[in-house]
């Protein structure tokens, strides 16, 4: 027993229709009632395109009750080719064959007119029905599927590092702690697992365990940071794609992998570009479809520059000294600020890999370069969004890793398990983490990562549902 | 710049080799040194199959230092067809071209000999290197990819309900609560999001929001229950596949969807069955590959029975009264126990859908049937594992839903957002949740869901890493 025909399916088979279509269902996007005809745009959420329904007027029918937002069932309709119009067909139905399944109140907020993103965000149960945010969610799904294809084609195993963990991957602080809510009453702190338990900030350390067993693995898991920054690039709960690959000791293998992966995604997007975007996009906070598609073409056609941190600082200093001051003066040894990253990407008008950062700017597990000052790592910075991927070769030598952890005064006993990997069949390996909401928002031309996830959690944000 | 050749890739192109293969890397699974030759089985984790390496003996080389578990790099090897053996080729290398990348201590626990699953579970950083658990993780990846293909082919959007939530989906209790660990010191209970925040037990309620926007959506997210049961079917952190579909009011559309989806997965498994299983499986707690493949063939060849709860109770009562007593006597109105579910599945020797349970056995959101006693829901129960999927048509009528929630004394204000969906373009819809670890373990013939996830979290279990 099959489910109903979807609008996406009806549009896909537009060229070989049967004369009669049964049980078409969706939500009314707009309705216009003229003298002889009523015109309905119907969407069932499976496509950014709507079905055009034409209904000859009949008095005493439900036509006058139709309103935007209602769900509608059309028992039967006749397929009519419309070769001169954008959609190659329309469906003609009798008014008696229409049935309103669910109505809307008079003040239903998603009327046909244009809505700002700020307004839509105030409607957490309805906003996904807007053309733009609905399209953005479908886009995210395309991106996820395409990433999955890519990693499978490269012999990576999809896997699942844990969310509940005792490890604080980067020592970054800003953790969420977890307690069991006992059925007997108050929560008993830390008693359930016998020690302090946190939500993971990154699956990397666990992925390293798995990479030394499976060779190549990737994961897509929610990560959590109790961020205090409330920006358009930060979420408290975000999805992170991480990959880890063994028998690699050159950071350029990692940058090539990232470049190939994102290009693969963008190729998939280009292949279906006409159906991805809605016809109307918000006037603020969103690029036009034309701009996004131009971005995609640039992404696949260019080879992405790779420059060292030292080269990047030198470019930034030149800019700072001669042309335009940054808020934070660039200086060797300091982290790159978001303004620096964005400037670099816009200077090259392309995604840019910055590699070999100073060791003290980066995490303890990164492999030191032979210069004694930098580590074999990279960040991918892209125009407008800044950093979207970060990765490194990992230190696989036990003594060097212990030395670096001691230098940083880290808690060694809690990291015993991680260190032990370097004593048991250790192998050169490296990997990276990619913020999925940042990738999705950047590629779609959306300027706020909050719109890249259906229900966002952020600093100063409340949890309404 | 590309990463190294994988063993999987080498095996895949076995029929058109180049004469010389460069930079083969992996871990030694076993090594035998004979008078004239040394034989090495090498795995890089990308396949259950190993590469056979033959090395002519030379004195004064590293051959005698080789041990199981070490990572090894072979600079160059010559491809030699071996048409009479299972693997159609072997690689011959000179001893001088071997380099040990990472050694192992004398007491490295994963020697060639057979290991029990109970023993492997005591090695959380090494167990995934065992033939059986490595194969099980690769299998999980195949299952995830295949599910993703299936839902895409049916026009479902992959989406992400939130993990941090204020909603307690089923009122089931056993929640984990979440607090921000402020960088200033002690955690300040509930202050970060302004209200009590929990880890989700199910994404369903949020997926309903999305199904009424996107028409069809699915998700694969970690869910959390502070279970007190410590069984081979329960985890505190588990991955749940959930799907929700609009414009469906018949539970049999849902059961068909589940049956089609799982059959699609099993077809993918059958297509690559020779490479999935390891040659040796543990003697306890695991089925043989032959038994698993027999199960797969049964799954795809049979049409799965659908019986009502009432019919199921009648069968169970007959069994209980005449042949074999259950620990819990079956009785109309009571939930089915795991022993009942397993018996039903073994009676039909197939996955069985049980539909139309009594309303008080099930959650508040399920649509009531016209008999006034039962709800339009289903559980899928399978041999040995019991329930692996549960779903229902959801009550889409506002008044009926309010009435049922009041009958259950539920906290209405906190569910206002959920109820409001029934007032704004409501449409018939339904969905289901599938426990991924249960599906993976069942299909692979593993008897404990703990082995279906790389790092398990369970009641009475500690978090070592």
Task: Reply yes or no on whether the pLDDT at B112 is more than 90.
Answer: no
Helix H or strand E segment including A221: strand A216-224
Contact A145 B145 (CB under 8 A): no
Task: Say how many C-beta atoms besides its own lie within 10 A of residue A341's C-beta.
Answer: 24
Residue B2 counted as domain residue: no
Q: Tell me, yes or no, whether A148 and A211 share the same domain.
A: yes
A-chain residue closest to B182, CA distance:
A174
Of A158, A195, A211, the CB nearest to B463: A195
Q: Tell me, yes or no, whether B106 and B125 share the same domain.
A: no
**Mean pLDDT across chain B:** 92
Residue B461 counted as domain residue: no
Residue pairs between chains A and B whose CB atoms are closer than 8 Å: 370
Task: Say how many C-beta atoms besides its own lie within 10 A of residue A370's C-beta.
Answer: 7
**Mean pLDDT across chain A:** 92
Mean pLDDT check: name the lowest of A314-323, A336-345, B115-124, B173-182: B173-182
A173 vs A186: CA distance, rounded Å: 26
Question: Do residues A32 and A67 touch, judged by C-beta distance below 8 A?
Answer: no
CA dihedral (A119, A125, A128, A133) positive or negative: positive
> Does A45 reach chain B within 8 Å, measured CB to CB?
yes
Q: Tell me, yes or no, whether A224 and A107 share the same domain.
A: no
Question: Do residues A47 and A137 touch, judged by C-beta distance below 8 A?
Answer: no
Task: Reply yes or no on whether the pLDDT at A17 is more than 80.
Answer: no
Three-state secondary-structure class, residue A450: helix
Mean pLDDT check: name the lowest of A249-258, B188-197, B265-274: B188-197
Task: Reply yes or no on whether the pLDDT at B16 is more than 70.
Answer: no
Contacts of A202 (CB under 8 A, 6+ apart): A169, A170, A223, A240, A242, A433
pLDDT tens string B250-290 = 999 999 999 999 999 999 999 998 889 998 889 888 999 99
* Distance to chain A for B293, nearest Cα, Å: 21
> Does the predicted interface ipTM exceed a cut of 0.85?
yes
Contact B181 A198 (CB under 8 A): yes
Residue B320 counted as domain residue: yes
Residue B158 — left, alpha, or beta (φ > 0 → left; ψ -120 to 50 → alpha)? beta
Distances (CA, A) of A435 to A239, A380, A389, B184: 6, 11, 7, 27
- Which pLDDT does position B129 carry in this prediction? 97
pLDDT tens string B289-313 = 999 999 999 999 999 999 999 999 9
Q: What is the domain range of residue B69? A: 7-113
Residue B331 counted as domain residue: yes
pLDDT band at B114 (very low <50, low <70, confident <90, very high): confident
- Which pLDDT does position A166 carry in this prediction? 85
Scanning B187-285, the segments in alpha helix (DSSP H) are 204-214, 251-271, 273-276
Task: Reply yes or no on whether the pLDDT at B127 is more than 90.
Answer: yes
Task: Reply yes or no on whether the pLDDT at B330 is more than 70.
Answer: yes
pLDDT tens string B344-389 = 999 999 999 999 999 999 999 999 999 999 999 999 999 989 999 9
Of A8, A424, A428, the CB nearest to B69: A424
pLDDT tens string B83-98 = 888 788 899 999 999 9
Closest CA to A156 of B47, B375, B170: B47
- Chain B residues with CB inside 8 Å of A159's CB? 137, 140-141, 454
Name beta bridge partners: B22.
B76
Residue A456 counted as domain residue: no
**Which tokens in the block code for residue B434?**
């599938």
Task: Reply yes or no on whether the pLDDT at A191 is more than 80.
Answer: no
B241 vs B260: CA distance, rounded Å: 15
* Distance to chain A for B342, nearest Cα, Å: 26
For residues A195 and A399, the model is more confident at A399
pLDDT tens string B25-53 = 999 999 999 999 999 999 999 999 999 99
Q: Tell me, yes or no, whether B215 and B97 share the same domain.
A: no
Domain boundary among the residues B84, B113, B142 is at B113
Residue B388 counted as domain residue: yes
Closest CA to B245 of B267, B266, B224, B260: B260
Of B103, B140, B213, the CB nearest to A134: B213
Closest CA to B237 of B422, B457, B8, B82: B457
**Which tokens in the block code for residue A421?**
């990997």
Q: Tell me, yes or no, whether B85 and B127 share the same domain.
A: no
Contact A46 B157 (CB under 8 A): yes
The arithmetic mean of pLDDT across residues A43-51, rounded, is 95
- Chain B residues with CB inside 8 Å of A427's CB? 25, 27, 71, 101-102
Residue B75 counted as domain residue: yes
Question: Do residues B359 and B368 touch, judged by C-beta distance below 8 A?
Answer: yes
Burial of A260 (0-12, 13-18, 19+ CB in 10 A): middle
Q: Tell me, yes or no, whether B83 and B202 share the same domain.
A: no
For residues B2 and A31, the model is more confident at A31
For residues B146 and A4, the model is more confident at B146
B112 vs B115: CA distance, rounded Å: 9
Q: Tell me, yes or no, whether B170 and B35 share the same domain.
A: no
The arithmetic mean of pLDDT across residues B205-218, rounded, is 98
CATH of the domain at B39: 2.40.50.140
Instruction: Report how many domains make up chain A.
Output: 2
Q: Tell me, yes or no, whether A249 and A143 share the same domain.
A: yes
Task: Reply yes or no on whether the pLDDT at B183 is more than 60.
Answer: no
Q: Tell me, yes or no, whether B79 and B172 share the same domain.
A: no
Contact A181 B194 (CB under 8 A): no
CATH of the domain at A258: 3.30.930.10
Residue B395 counted as domain residue: yes
Of B193, B210, B457, the CB nearest to A164: B457
The arithmetic mean of pLDDT across residues B136-154, rounded, is 97
Cα A248–Cα A250–Cα A256 angle in degrees, nearest 5 = 90
Domain boundary among the residues B113, B138, B173 is at B113
Report A:358-417 residues touching B (Cβ under 8 A). 396, 417
Domain boundary among the residues B113, B136, B168 is at B113
- Chain A residues with CB inside 8 Å of B226's CB? 180-182, 192
> Does B194 reach chain A within 8 Å, measured CB to CB?
yes
Q: Tell me, yes or no, whether A293 and A363 share the same domain.
A: yes
Three-state secondary-structure class, residue A307: strand
How many residues appear in chain B? 465
Burial of A165 (0-12, 13-18, 19+ CB in 10 A): buried
Task: Reply yes or no on whether the pLDDT at A462 is more than 90.
Answer: no
> Does A174 reach chain B within 8 Å, measured CB to CB?
yes
Q: Tell me, yes or no, whether A387 and A403 share the same domain.
A: yes
Residue A77 — left, alpha, or beta (φ > 0 → left; ψ -120 to 50 → alpha)? beta
Task: Reply yes or no on whether the pLDDT at A219 is more than 60.
Answer: yes
Contact B176 A174 (CB under 8 A): no
Question: Do residues A440 and A143 touch, judged by C-beta distance below 8 A?
Answer: yes
A382 vs A391: CA distance, rounded Å: 15
Question: Do residues A393 and A429 touch, judged by C-beta distance below 8 A?
Answer: yes
Q: Tell me, yes or no, whether A383 and A345 share the same domain.
A: yes
Closest CA to A387 of A350, A427, A418, A342: A342
A158 vs A164: CA distance, rounded Å: 19
CA dihedral (B199, B201, B205, B206) positive or negative: positive
- Which pLDDT does position A214 carry in this prediction? 98
The arithmetic mean of pLDDT across residues A456-463, rounded, is 82
> What percent of chain B has pLDDT above 90?
77
Burial of A185 (0-12, 13-18, 19+ CB in 10 A): exposed
Question: Do residues A421 and A428 touch, judged by C-beta distance below 8 A?
Answer: no
User: A359 phi and psi, to 5 degrees?
Assistant: -55, -35
Report A:120-159 residues touching B (Cβ under 8 A). 124-126, 128-129, 134, 137-138, 140-141, 144-145, 148, 152, 154-155, 157-159
Closest CA to B197 of B172, B170, B178, B180: B178
B402 vs B398: CA distance, rounded Å: 6
* Distance to chain B for A191, nearest Cα, Å: 10
């Amino acid at each position: 027993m099959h489910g109903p025909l979807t609008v996406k399916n009806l549009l896909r088979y537009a060229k070989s229709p049967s004369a009669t279509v049964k049980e078409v269902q969706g939500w009314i996007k707009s309705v216009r009632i003229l003298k002889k005809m009523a015109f309905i745009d119907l969407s069932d959420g499976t496509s950014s395109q709507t079905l055009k329904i034409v209904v000859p007027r009949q008095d005493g029918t439900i036509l006058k009750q139709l309103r935007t937002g209602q769900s509608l069932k059309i028992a039967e309709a006749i397929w009519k080719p419309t070769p001169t119009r954008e959609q190659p067909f329309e469906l003609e139905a009798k008014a008696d064959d229409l049935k309103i399944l669910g109505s809307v109140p008079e003040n239903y907020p998603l009327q046909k007119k244009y809505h700002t993103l700020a307004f839509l965000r105030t409607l957490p149960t309805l906003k996904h029905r807007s053309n733009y945010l609905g399209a953005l969610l479908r886009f995210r799904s395309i991106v996820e599927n395409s990433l999955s294809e890519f990693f499978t084609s490269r012999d990576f195993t999809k896997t699942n590092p844990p969310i509940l963990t005792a490890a604080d991957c980067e020592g970054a602080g800003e953790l969420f702690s977890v307690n069991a809510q006992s059925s007997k009453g108050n929560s008993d702190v830390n008693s359930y697992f016998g020690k302090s338990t946190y939500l993971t900030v990154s699956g990397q350390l666990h992925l390293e365990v798995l990479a030394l067993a499976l060779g190549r693995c990737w994961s897509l898991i929610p990560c959590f940071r109790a961020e205090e920054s409330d920006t358009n690039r930060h979420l408290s709960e975000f999805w992170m794609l991480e990959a880890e690959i063994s028998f690699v000791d050159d950071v350029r293998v990692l940058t090539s992998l990232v470049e190939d992966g994102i290009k693969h995604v963008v190729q998939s997007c280009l292949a279906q570009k006409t159906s991805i975007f809605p016809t109307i996009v918000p006037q603020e906070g969103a690029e036009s479809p034309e701009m996004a598609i131009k971005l995609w073409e640039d992404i696949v056609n260019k080879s992405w520059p790779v420059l060292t941190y030292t080269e990047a600082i030198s470019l930034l200093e030149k800019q700072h000294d001669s042309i335009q001051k940054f808020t934070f003066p660039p200086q060797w040894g300091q982290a790159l600020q978001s303004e620096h990253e964005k400037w670099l990407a816009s200077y090259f008008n392309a995604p840019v890999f910055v590699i070999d950062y100073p060791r003290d700017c980066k995490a303890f597990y990164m492999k030191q370069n032979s210069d004694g000052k930098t580590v074999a790592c990279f960040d991918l910075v892209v125009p407008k969004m800044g950093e979207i991927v970060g990765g490194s070769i990992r230190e696989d030598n036990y003594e060097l890793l212990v030395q670096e952890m001691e230098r940083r005064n880290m808690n060694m006993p809690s990291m015993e398990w991680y260190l032990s990997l370097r004593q048991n069949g250790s192998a050169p390996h490296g990997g990276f983490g990619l913020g999925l909401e940042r990738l999705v928002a950047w590629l779609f031309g959306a300027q706020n990562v909050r719109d890249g996830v259906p229900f966002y959690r952020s600093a100063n944000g409340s949890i309404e549902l």
